[in-house]
Chains A and B, each alone.
Chain A
Amino acid sequence: MVTVKIDGREVQVEPNSTILQAAEKAGVHIPVLCHHKTLNPFGACRVCLVEVVGNPKLMTACTTPVTDKMEIVTQNEKLQKLRRTVIELLLINHPLDCPVCDKGGDCMLQDLTFEVGLTNVRFDPKPNDTPFDHTNPFIERDIDRCVLCGKCVRICDEVVNIQAISFINRGTETYIGTSFDQPWNCEYCGQCMSVCPVGSLNNRVYLFKNRPWNLEKTESVCGFCSCGCSIIVEHEDNEVYKISEDPDLGVNHGFLCAKGRFGYELINSPEREKTPKIKKSGEFSESSIEEAIEYVAAKIGEIKGKYGADSIGVLVSPRVTNEEAFLAQKFAREVIGSNNVFSFETVNALPEGTYEDVENSDNLIVLNIDVTESNPVLGYAIRRMGRKEETTLSVFYPKVTSLKRVATNFFTGKPSEVYEKIENFINGLKGDGEFKDLADSFKGAKKPVLVYNPYDELDLYYANEIKTLVNNVITVPCRLKNNSQGIVDMGCTPYYKPGYVKTEAQADFRKVLEDGSLRALVILGENPLLHPEYSDLGDILGKLDFLAVTDPFMSEVAELSEVYIPVSLFAEKDGTFTNFEGRVQSLNKTVDNGVISDLEFLALLSARLGVNLPKGIDEVQDLIRKEVPLYNDVDFNGGTVKYPFVLDGAFALKKVSPKGKGKFKVFPGSLRLHSGSFTRRSQDLSRVYAEPAVEINPTDASKLNVGDGDYIILKFEDTTRKFRVAVVKGMPDGVVSLPNDFKETADLFHKGKYLKVDLVKHNG
């Protein structure tokens, strides 16, 4: 610890801290412009100049480390004058566009101008006037307003590691742009925009819709993927205008991905249903909530009376909160009296590692998953880890992903070849083979981490092998959806009651549907038709004696239902989600679109069936603490759950055997920013990929005579289908990828995870 004196106040700080950090600790305000606390010090703007007593030169507070007994002056006439001049110089070429500029009211340049008391610029203004750039679908770029703080360039490099934008030219000609002024294609994560202090980079989804002083801010948790990012929902009245971030909240250091940052318009989507519907003689007609609940209760009562409790089932989606999932299984097990509570989540793999483990790992393996797409913010943690000197990051995946830049080893190839390499790596761990060196370094690592896909049986097998062979390895199963983990914890599976207490009767979703023992099904937000494994069950579901579906949107399976009840989305309810680390975090209701939540639906329905389940969020949480031992003493605002096991099950080694005949091998890939169920409802995300696309490498594409954006015919067995083409580098020859969770593709993958297909150009 060293002692420094800032404006007369003495503080003790760590030896390596900067003057700015010390000032923060002392409670002294130093104005900054180019500094951002998640980025490395840069020192571009000179707004933070301070005086160090005994030193003739002024120092930049954001980059200068403190020394013992340093005495610092942050405010005096000279400094004030200097800061004013710095701002004055910035304003020479700055178009004073504030009334039009979307940043107005939230702009650091405005604030600084006000702070230094600048009312009159002594120089002749020469405002720049370059046209706006709209090549990025989510970010508006106006280089005229740029103050060249470099934050965008730095965050894209240091955090996202895409290096999509950079300083172009020198001196007064400098601007921020892409190489060779190409259209701005990147990850679209919007990190650059979030740190831009001025209106140079603006959110196009929110563009000009409101002003910052009108917006109320509520902390919540993102409802898209299992990363569990903390978000700030900015809303006015009942409309969500913007999702922003706070570096001090949660686990994500203020980083978000394109889905979380730009996908929120689906909350305000005109496609959303507002009134429940009951199907009578094949046609939906609108009804009131009471009527719909009454109808569901009557039907369930009738079927239970006729065929017994086991003829009724509940299917829960990973989009619901822990509280809703808990009530859903309680509804099935206690109100109905049946163990038929299903979800499509895996129960064999539970969380172990956290973000911290990933970031601090010295040897990390990404096993056959495109983690930067499936779990983007976990992807940032892996990139951070990979960028450090002396760490080893190895990736096994059929195609080259954006981890390539930071990976030490990247193993690609046909899916079967990738598995061969994984097999060889396992052999290496056992002591021989071509991967012996890598295996040895993994074994000898201080903190080896394995990131894998817990939904694939083969991947589970290999993860289990690695876990057995390397005793200190920390596993990170990449669950997909926002509450994929929580619903299993809450016992939404026929195999476990809440908290992983094994059940006796273990029904299988497919079996009970196929043998006809299931007569009625209540689906909470799930859509089996988009799951390759269950995509063939549409006919059976349509013919059930009774099918009720709750979903924020009229989904494909909701169309088949007899009663459809629209329910609220993550921004419209209270509750908790559990992310892939097993971290429980609370979300807050911010807006109300006049629809009920699944929680209210379950409570109303149970009450109608004669059992009163708690309805208030606090009561349900108290009950969870009581009945789910796992959650007993977990802090619902960021605490992690301690799990009873990491991997459990009889994992069998199966060879990859692609189904069908054809020249091209298909593996299920993650399409940029998308899954076909939820994000597809966002018009903005759909601007990047509105439909599933076949990803193919440039050589194969030119052989087939197709280009990016063209259509291609895919022939698999008797099915022919038309898809858009996305040409990507880094896809192996003869291999293409296609997302498997779109309505256009789910049934193709029903036969198997890997396919062999023929591709021909689509003409016309």
Chain B
Amino acid sequence: MKNIFDTIFFTEIFQGLGVTLKHMFKKPVTVRYPYEESPIYKFRGIHYMNVDERGVSKCVGCYLCEKVCPAECIHIETDAGPNGERLVRKFEIDLSRCIYCGFCEEACPKDAIHMSDRYDTVDSTRDNYIINMRYMVENRKNVKGE
């Protein structure tokens, strides 16, 4: 009996239309990339550096991240400063070689290097893929919740 009713009045079609109608008033799940940023969680993107209370990078230049990096894309130079302190002269990551494995983050004993969720690495020249300490300290500001 019920079947005949359904068949005659196409109730299932209306049910379907109802679902469609419901979704028309919901928030869209797609993102209009690249006009909009896509929200991404649990993603390993461009690195950033944590800073201490003075706003200086926490990195001490221990070379552990350089050593652990399987893509060999981290390049560090250190030296002794004027008062005999450990000084990071140069800290560069070649993003065009980085495989975003996150090993550097894992190895860092100073909680300095981390990976942000920024993935917009595209650039027009190779040189621009090389990021330095200042870039990474700045990049910290792009991290959610900071």
Residues of A at the B interface (CB closer than 8 Å) are: 98-100, 104, 132, 134, 140, 204, 207-211, 213-214
Taking a contact as CB atoms under 8 Å apart, the answer to whether A99 and B80 are in contact is no
Q: Known A98-B109, A99-B109, A99-B110; judge A208-B86 contact (CB<8 A).
A: yes
Main SS at interface, chain A: loop
Taking a contact as CB atoms under 8 Å apart, the answer to whether A208 and B78 are in contact is yes
Taking a contact as CB atoms under 8 Å apart, the answer to whether A134 and B63 are in contact is no
Question: What 1/0 mask marks residues of chain B from 59 to 77 whose CB sits below 8 Å from any chain A CB?
Answer: 0111110010000000000
Residues of A within 8 A of B86 (CB): 100, 208
Within residues 21 to 74 of chain B, which ones have a CB less than 8 A from any CB in chain A?
A: 60-64, 67
Taking a contact as CB atoms under 8 Å apart, the answer to whether A100 and B62 are in contact is yes
Output the least CB separation between A137 and chain B (Å): 11
- Bound-state Cα–Cα, A437 to B7, Å: 135
Taking a contact as CB atoms under 8 Å apart, the answer to whether B63 and A208 are in contact is no
- Bound-state Cα–Cα, A100 to B63, Å: 10
Taking a contact as CB atoms under 8 Å apart, the answer to whether B109 and A208 are in contact is no
Q: Known A98-B62, A99-B60, A104-B62; judge A208-B67 contact (CB<8 A).
A: no
Determine if B145 is an interface residue (Cβ-Cβ < 8 Å): no
Residues of A within 8 A of B63 (CB): 210-211, 213-214
Output the least CB separation between A343 and chain B (Å): 40
Taking a contact as CB atoms under 8 Å apart, the answer to whether A209 and B84 are in contact is no
Taking a contact as CB atoms under 8 Å apart, the answer to whether B80 and A100 are in contact is no
Output the least CB separation between A750 and chain B (Å): 42
Taking a contact as CB atoms under 8 Å apart, the answer to whether A204 and B80 are in contact is yes
- Bound-state Cα–Cα, A210 to B80, Å: 11
Taking a contact as CB atoms under 8 Å apart, the answer to whether B62 and A208 are in contact is no
Determine if B101 is an interface residue (Cβ-Cβ < 8 Å): no
- Bound-state Cα–Cα, A213 to B78, Å: 15
Residues of B at the A interface (CB closer than 8 Å) are: 60-64, 67, 78-80, 84, 86-87, 109-110
Most chain B CB within a 10 A radius of its CB, from A99, A132, A210: A99
Taking a contact as CB atoms under 8 Å apart, the answer to whether B87 and A211 are in contact is no
Output the least CB separation between A598 and chain B (Å): 33
Taking a contact as CB atoms under 8 Å apart, the answer to whether A208 and B80 are in contact is yes
Output the least CB separation between B86 and chain A (Å): 5
- Bound-state Cα–Cα, A210 to B79, Å: 8
**CB closest residue in chain A, given B83:** A134
**CB closest residue in chain B, given A140:** B84
Residues of A within 8 A of B78 (CB): 208-210
Residues of A within 8 A of B79 (CB): 207-209
Cβ 8 A contact of A213, one of B61, B67, B110: B67
- Bound-state Cα–Cα, A140 to B62, Å: 18
- Selected A-B contacts with CB under 8 Å, 5 pairs: A98-B62, A99-B62, A100-B62, A207-B84, A213-B63
**CB closest residue in chain A, given B110:** A99
Residues of B within 8 A of A207 (CB): 79-80, 84
- Bound-state Cα–Cα, A98 to B78, Å: 15
- Bound-state Cα–Cα, A640 to B67, Å: 44
- Bound-state Cα–Cα, A139 to B64, Å: 25
Output the least CB separation between B133 and chain A (Å): 16
Q: 4 extra interchain contacts, Cβ-Cβ under 8 A, other than A100-B60, A208-B61, A214-B63?
A: A132-B84, A208-B78, A209-B80, A213-B63
Residues of B within 8 A of A211 (CB): 62-63, 67
Cβ 8 A contact of A134, one of B84, B109, B110: B84
Residues of B within 8 A of A209 (CB): 78-80
- Bound-state Cα–Cα, A214 to B74, Å: 13
Residues of A within 8 A of B62 (CB): 98-100, 104, 211
Residues of B within 8 A of A104 (CB): 62
- Bound-state Cα–Cα, A338 to B80, Å: 53
Output the least CB separation between A242 and chain B (Å): 13
**CB closest residue in chain B, given A142:** B84
- Bound-state Cα–Cα, A207 to B81, Å: 10
Ranked 7 nearest A-B pairs via Cβ: A99-B62, A207-B80, A211-B63, A99-B109, A208-B86, A208-B80, A208-B78
- Bound-state Cα–Cα, A210 to B86, Å: 11
Residues of A within 8 A of B80 (CB): 204, 207-209
- Bound-state Cα–Cα, A665 to B61, Å: 54
Residues of A within 8 A of B64 (CB): 99
Output the least CB separation between A517 and chain B (Å): 54
Most chain A CB within a 10 A radius of its CB, from B78, B80, B109, B110: B80
